[in-house]
Amino acid sequence: MPITKTAKRALRSSRRKQNINTLISTKLDAAIRIAKKGRSKNNILRAISLTDRAVKSKIIHKNKAARIKSSLSKLLPKSKSNYSKTKPTKSKRSKASKKKK
């Protein structure tokens, strides 16, 4: 047990942080499980969002989050692209050359 005042304060803050971290990590695990089981777009996007939040609060490493997001994005249904695949053409300018006398 902590003896000094600062050690007692540090213990209180670390317990508070531990509770928040476990809450976020359990929500993340549940969201990932639901997303992989249900495979609906909303569930997958919610799980991806929770992984980003977990990285922001330094609960999981960014590489682990990248792996999780990659596996979840593979579950997303493929949608058709809305843009055309034609390349834009460049405008051709005619150069007028002037001769110096």
pLDDT (tens digit per residue) in 54-86: 999 999 999 999 999 999 999 988 877 666 566
User: Quick count: other Cβ atoms within 10 Å of Cβ 32?
Assistant: 20
The token pair at 20 is: 């928040």
**Considering the chain, what is the average pLDDT of its residues?**
89
pTM above 0.75, yes or no: no
pLDDT at 101: 66
- Domain range enclosing 48: 18-75
Q: Is residue 87 part of a domain?
A: no
Q: Is residue 59 part of a domain?
A: yes
Q: Is residue 97 part of a domain?
A: no
**Residue among 19, 23, 29, 22 at smallest CA distance from 51:** 29
